[in-house]
Amino acid sequence: MKIKNYQTGVVSLPREAGPLTGGLGDGKSSTSDFVTIKIQSEDGTTGIGYAGFTSSVMLKPLKVTIDELLELTINQDSERIDAITNNLYSIAGAGAPAGLLTRAIAGIDVALWDLKGKVLNQPIYKLLGGAHNKVRTYASGYLWRNFDLDRLQKKASELIEEGYDAMKFRMGGESSNAKEIERMKIMREAVGPEVTLMVDVNQGWDVNTSITIGRKLEEFDLYWLEDPVYHQDYAGLSRIAETLDLPIANGEYHYGIEPFKTLIDHKSVDIVLIDLLRAGGISQWMKIAHLAEINNMKVASHLATEVLLHCVAASKNGLWVEHMPWTFEMFEEEPVVKDGYMILPDGPGIGVKFNESALEKYKHQG
């Protein structure tokens, strides 16, 4: 099925706290900015995708890059996804998978997979192998560093009332190690022993701090400690992973496949986190998951919940899908969570549709 047309747009969805708002989730009003993508085949079937999770200053160059790349896909066979994306890397980036180019191609890759699923009338997770029919999920994007202890406890309790039995909260913003540990203690007391907890530091500590605090955190039964130090400090991550009994998770900041090979070869982590857009889309995400699998390592998703639900479900070694609400307003449907699991959609492709009213309402001005 040949590609005949495409359409892109730019949206800025409102959100509050997060690592991009001052770096520490300071609660200031912010936006999640995306380039939306629609690819239409010769029979009129349309696949959708998006690229983004960048600052607003990157939106214009990202859209220009996507538009130029999409021009190169016209009259190409839409089902030969690897052939298309390999060609785009070769022409536009001399084969270099990084930065803006990778994010742009990732969005195109997602739209091509959605189109393929619609043409074949199958959800993407089944086209990718369908290893699981449901996936464990945890609440993310709700428990930020700027929250004082009372607010942290209150929000955690609200999440439990909403039915979550696993959640991630942020550390790395306190003025002392003792205060960091107290934050962990209060959080565990708030949710009780049965709730699964993950901690994300967003590269906020050094190696020695990670080990010092990590040893204290072990008594609180954490599922993982995420990104304690700079993501390319492979030796430092290895030292942390070897020293602590606490599982270390890392990978969301890496672009393409090669850094994951280095991460795995250095035994720097216990759980591999893979970001959809930095990895290069669904195709590359799955290749990284397979690389982890042959090294007996588990994988989990980062952001892009409605897309990566399919990838985690298709991976034998898939553990968790992150329930992150930053993209939900773009779509008519939200992921469904039941008893701690995210339910896989029955519809073809991604299984969600763009909310055209929302895209118009939140159309980027600038």
HEC-encoded secondary structure of 316-338: CCEEEEEECHHHHHHECCCCEEE
Which one-letter amino acid corresponds to residue 248? I
Outline which parts of the chain fall under CATH 3.30.390.10. 3-121
- Per-residue confidence of the chain (366 residues) as pLDDT tens digits? 899 999 999 999 987 655 544 334 444 447 889 999 999 999 999 999 999 877 777 889 999 999 999 999 999 999 999 999 999 999 886 656 678 999 999 999 999 999 999 999 999 999 999 999 899 999 998 898 888 899 999 999 999 999 899 999 999 988 899 999 999 999 999 999 999 999 999 999 999 999 999 999 999 999 999 999 999 999 999 999 999 999 999 999 999 999 999 999 999 999 999 999 999 999 999 999 999 999 999 999 999 999 999 999 999 999 999 999 999 999 999 999 999 999 999 999 999 999 999 999 999 876
Q: Which class is 3-121 in CATH?
A: alpha beta
Burial code (b: 16+ CB inside 10 Å, e: under 16) for 40-58 equals bbeeebbbbbbbbbbeeeb
Q: What does the pLDDT read at residue 17?
A: 55
What 8-state DSSP symbol labels residue 95?
A: T
Q: What does the pLDDT read at residue 57?
A: 79
Q: What does the pLDDT read at residue 92?
A: 81
Q: ∠ CA 311-234-92 to the nearest 5 degrees?
A: 55
DSSP collapsed to 3 states, 249-265: EECCCCCCCHHHHHHHH
Place of tokens 């690897």: 82
> Which sign does the torsion angle of CA 355, 168, 141, 139 carry?
positive
Q: Which class is 125-343 in CATH?
A: alpha beta
Q: What does the pLDDT read at residue 20?
A: 43
Place of tokens 């020695």: 208
- Collapsing DSSP to helix, strand or coil, 365 comes out as coil
Q: ∠ CA 362-38-327 to the nearest 5 degrees?
A: 40
Burial of 361 (0-12, 13-18, 19+ CB in 10 A): exposed
Q: What does the pLDDT read at residue 29?
A: 46
Q: What does the pLDDT read at residue 21?
A: 42
Question: Could you give the CA distance from residue 35 to residue 346 in angstroms, rounded to a whole number?
Answer: 26
- Collapsing DSSP to helix, strand or coil, 244 comes out as coil
Question: Could you give the CA distance from residue 349 to residue 344 in angstroms, rounded to a whole number?
Answer: 11
Q: What does the pLDDT read at residue 56?
A: 73
Question: Could you give the CA distance from residue 156 to residue 165 in angstroms, rounded to a whole number?
Answer: 10
**Residue 42 half-sphere exposure, CB side, CA atoms within 13 Å?**
9
Tokens linked to 117: 């699923």
Residues sharing a CB contact under 8 Å with residue 278, sequence separation 6 or more, in sequence order: 102, 103, 106, 252, 253, 254, 255, 256
What 8-state DSSP symbol labels residue 220?
A: G
Residue 112 parent element (H or E): helix 99-120
Q: What does the pLDDT read at residue 24?
A: 40
Q: What does the pLDDT read at residue 224?
A: 97
Of 347, 365, 353, the C-alpha closest to 328 is 353
Place of tokens 């590269």: 203
Residue-wise pLDDT tens digits, 226-272: 999 999 999 999 999 999 999 999 999 999 999 999 999 999 999 99
Outline which parts of the chain fall under CATH 3.20.20.120. 125-343
Q: What does the pLDDT read at residue 16?
A: 64
Q: What is the CA radius of gyration of the chain?
A: 20
Taking the model in full, what pTM does it have? Answer: 0.93
